[in-house]
Amino acid sequence: MNVKPIPTLDPRINEIRALTAKIVNQDILPNEKKMWAGYREGGTDEERRNSRELRESVKAKVKQAGLWAPHLPPEYGGSGLGFLEHAYMNEVLAYSMGAAALFGVVAPNSGNQSILLKYGTEEQKRKWLVPLTEGKMESGFSMTEPDSAGSDPRSIKTTAVRDGDQWVINGHKWFTSNGFRADFFIVMCRTGGSGADNGRMTQIIVPKNTPGLRIVRGVEVWGHKSDHCEIVYDDVRVPLSNQLGQTGTGHQAAQDRLGAGRVYHCMNSIGQMWRAFNLMVERATMREVHGGKLETKQFIQGFIADSYIDIQAARLMTIHCAEKMDGGGDPRTDISAIKVFVPAAFERVVDRAIQVWGAAGVSGDLPLAGMYQGARTLRLADGPDEVHRILIAKNILSRYHNGESWDFGN
């Protein structure tokens, strides 16, 4: 990965990019196959042990470089990076799929950590946040429901009813991330009102071993086993002290989580696009076909040009959005715009790389197949494209109805 200083950036951001690239290039990319060998079907105990030791050695270097858990302050075990520093870091570390976990940034733990940091009490932070950061616990985020539209969080049906000093939770969730490994879940519950009222939702911490919590199954994703779990909450009782924030702040907490998360996801996507682009160009300059290198074919030259355009457009849109968020502007339209554009551009870039590599592109020898599945999934995660397009149009039309036109410079 070729990472050089960007003259217009703060020196600290350039330093973070360089430190991240050094670890990715020297310690992760040469060991990608070994790093995750223990996760493959049929992996031996020795492979699992060796891959775990390899990952731990990389994590030690990350911590030594001051890059561990960039989204958390030092007092809770993180490196305390600013929003833009973290965003630019994500672009670099995502060049290798799975590298984020080696930097202490992995969903849903990182999102849950951010929510615990903002909404948790000091006792909750000590009990749940610190062990998460130290890797002693795992967590899940339980929001999506099979019988409620994921595009409309107001439709959530899972309820939490107060009974004395306890919340009693009843509901049916699925795609609860990290379900099998989690020690506890953060569960989005309706604590009053009906479907039109966002202000009656609350996030509640539920330990996995709580009576009444039943994991039905891991939901297959792209035909493969996953730990995105379907869970039934049947009269699950937890103390009122497990509530995060004030009653009714659950929807806002989810938006806080998703807003920054969408920027991070887009920067991750750009890092993976970067890798796919490099692989595509490498193949084009080496592969002999029909009397010449692939790079001499106009179709392939078109692929290279179009992918360059897609990556640059996606990158600049995302950085503009991140800068607006960091500067205290109104980023809502920009967040929705990158959420629609970047995954689609990601999908196109990876698709072209697969086409250039041919059969090898869909094999397990390259990361392209996993990238393609991830890109397509992102068009559903954190809100489907259609919802974000509606939000973009509403925000723009509202400006015009107020007698203004749109200012694309701000």
What local confidence, expressed as pLDDT, does residue 195 receive? 56
pLDDT bucket at 294, cuts 50 / 70 / 90: very high
What mean pLDDT is predicted for residues 208-226?
A: 94
What local confidence, expressed as pLDDT, does residue 124 receive? 96
pLDDT exceeds cutoff 70 at 293: yes
What local confidence, expressed as pLDDT, does residue 399 receive? 95
pLDDT digits (tens, 9 = 90+) for 114-161: 999 999 999 999 999 999 998 899 999 999 999 888 777 778 899 999
What local confidence, expressed as pLDDT, does residue 135 receive? 87
What local confidence, expressed as pLDDT, does residue 185 receive? 97
215: Cβ contacts below 8 Å, ≥ 6 apart:
179, 180, 229, 230, 231
pTM, 2 dp: 0.91
For residues 338 and 140, give the distance between their C-alpha atoms in angstroms, rounded to a whole number: 26
Length of the chain: 410
Phi-psi region of 201 (alpha: psi -120 to 50; beta: other; left: phi over 0): beta
Percent above pLDDT 70 for the chain: 97
Percent above pLDDT 90 for the chain: 82
For residues 357 and 9, give the distance between their C-alpha atoms in angstroms, rounded to a whole number: 35
What mean pLDDT is predicted for residues 232-257?
A: 92
Q: What secondary structure does DSSP assign to 8-31, as a single string? A: TS-HHHHHHHHHHHHHIIIIIGGG
What local confidence, expressed as pLDDT, does residue 199 receive? 61
Rounded to 10 deg, the angle between the 83-93 and 298-326 helix axes is 160
For residues 382 and 230, give the distance between their C-alpha atoms in angstroms, rounded to a whole number: 18
pLDDT exceeds cutoff 60 at 181: yes
What local confidence, expressed as pLDDT, does residue 353 receive? 98
What mean pLDDT is predicted for residues 197-203?
A: 78
Task: Report strand pairing: 213-218 vs 229-239.
Answer: antiparallel
Here the tokens at position 179 are: 């379900």
pLDDT exceeds cutoff 80 at 224: yes
What local confidence, expressed as pLDDT, does residue 47 receive? 85
For residues 406 and 410, give the distance between their C-alpha atoms in angstroms, rounded to a whole number: 9
pLDDT exceeds cutoff 70 at 198: no
For residues 357 and 62, give the distance between their C-alpha atoms in angstroms, rounded to a whole number: 33
Average pLDDT, the chain: 93
pLDDT bucket at 193, cuts 50 / 70 / 90: low
What mean pLDDT is predicted for residues 298-327?
A: 97
pLDDT exceeds cutoff 60 at 186: yes
For residues 171 and 146, give the distance between their C-alpha atoms in angstroms, rounded to a whole number: 10
What mean pLDDT is predicted for residues 6-27?
A: 96
